[in-house]
Amino acid sequence: MKKLITALLTCMLTAAMLGGCGKAADDANSSNADVNAEITAADQDAADTDAQADGADDAAAGDEEGASAEVKTVKEGVLTMATNATFPPYEYYESDAIVGIDAEIAEAVAKKLGLELKIEDMEFDSIILAVTQGKADLGLAGMTVTEERLEAVDFSDSYATGIQAVIVAEDSEIAGISDLDGKKIGVQLATTGDIYAKEDFGEDNVEAYNKGADAVMALKQGKVDAVIIDNQPALAFIQNTDGLKILDTEYAVEDYAAAIAKGNDALRTAVNDALAELEEDGTLQSIIDKYIVSE
């Protein structure tokens, strides 16, 4: 059975760990760059009152003295997170609010840094650009660390493992990855599923949709034979759709991390310190457990 998720905070990500990720349709080429500053959720400004106390903790616990004090953010006093809120259970809408594992982790990190969290929802494709253009401090979106993305941004330490899973119809003849040869594969545009599938099975066999849910809908309608997508959203999507199943075979295992502007070491260190503390005190695990019920 698949190991759904693990909090891995100890490993510092290096390019060396990330072999075999292939070449990307790089986000630098992304056209719809402009961030829809659709500010949602996250004006849960509870953070402020605790900020002082946490700041003191940080100074004591962090190895970089006063890291959070030196952190410059896009907007003073605010940690701006770019995401794509179509990716349950990491980020999705509940009424008007963006909730999920990433949203809560970002809220906890912001609190540790004495900042107020603001979440900006945009196309997945635009997230890295928002970070590189200085419109967002963090890209946090169940985002896999890849070599190509590392050319554009830095990443925090990994806070979770992601798995590229394959969804097929319950009665499908597709039983493993090799059966995907020559089949029509649906993916979410510009995700690792999209990138790897195009490399492995050819561009002509891959249909990229703006949302993972749209790819799953296409599968349901018989327009594609399989969907490759991260396994947690896969589970969420098939829950609401009859007649689909997830193959036991994992297509790829990946590290999720926060994208941060290249060279912004103060922020990266502060985020890593905050993540390490949240891991140590069990906060990370409790956030994950809230959204992922292990089997």
205: three-class secondary structure by DSSP: helix
Q: Rounded CA gap, 8 and 16, in Å?
A: 17
Told to check if 143 binds ligand GLN by CB under 6 A, we report yes
Which one of the spans 17-25, 187-195, 201-209, 274-282 is the region binding ligand GLN (CB under 6 A)? Answer: 187-195
Strand partners, 208: 187
Nearer to ligand GLN, 29 or 52 (CB): 29
Strand partners, 138: 81, 260
| Shortest spacing between CB 141 and ligand GLN, in angstroms | 4
Nearer to ligand GLN, 132 or 191 (CB): 191
| Shortest spacing between CB 105 and ligand GLN, in angstroms | 14
Which one of the spans 34-42, 65-73, 138-146, 284-292 is the region binding ligand GLN (CB under 6 A)? Answer: 138-146
Q: Rounded CA gap, 205 and 185, in Å?
A: 6
Does an H or E element contain 162, and which? strand 160-169
| Shortest spacing between CB 7 and ligand GLN, in angstroms | 16
Told to check if 126 binds ligand GLN by CB under 6 A, we report no
Q: What are residue 213's phi and psi, to 5 degrees?
A: -60, -35
Does an H or E element contain 273, and which? helix 265-280
Beta strand 259-261 with 138-139: parallel, antiparallel or unpaired? antiparallel
* 3 half-sphere exposure, CB direction, 13 A CA radius: 8
Strand partners, 204: none
Residues 253-272 that bind ligand GLN (CB under 6 A): none
Nearer to ligand GLN, 132 or 144 (CB): 144
Q: Which of 126, 142, 232, 269 binds ligand GLN (CB under 6 A)?
A: 142
CB 196 within 8 A of CB 187: no
| Shortest spacing between CB 87 and ligand GLN, in angstroms | 4
Applying CB under 6 A, the site for ligand GLN has a residue count of 12
CB 166 within 8 A of CB 230: no
Locate the DSSP E strands across 70-152.
Answer: 78-83, 86-87, 91-94, 97-99, 116-121, 138-139
Told to check if 30 binds ligand GLN by CB under 6 A, we report no
Told to check if 214 binds ligand GLN by CB under 6 A, we report no
Which one of the spans 31-39, 105-113, 184-192, 238-246 is the region binding ligand GLN (CB under 6 A)? Answer: 184-192
Told to check if 103 binds ligand GLN by CB under 6 A, we report no
Told to check if 87 binds ligand GLN by CB under 6 A, we report yes
Q: Which of 58, 121, 230, 273 binds ligand GLN (CB under 6 A)?
A: 230
| Shortest spacing between CB 177 and ligand GLN, in angstroms | 17
State the residue for tokens 């107020």. Answer: 116
Strand partners, 253: 163
Q: Rounded CA gap, 146 and 14, in Å?
A: 10
Nearer to ligand GLN, 67 or 197 (CB): 197
Told to check if 124 binds ligand GLN by CB under 6 A, we report yes
Contact positions vs ligand GLN (CB under 6 A): 84, 87, 124, 141-144, 162, 188, 191-192, 230
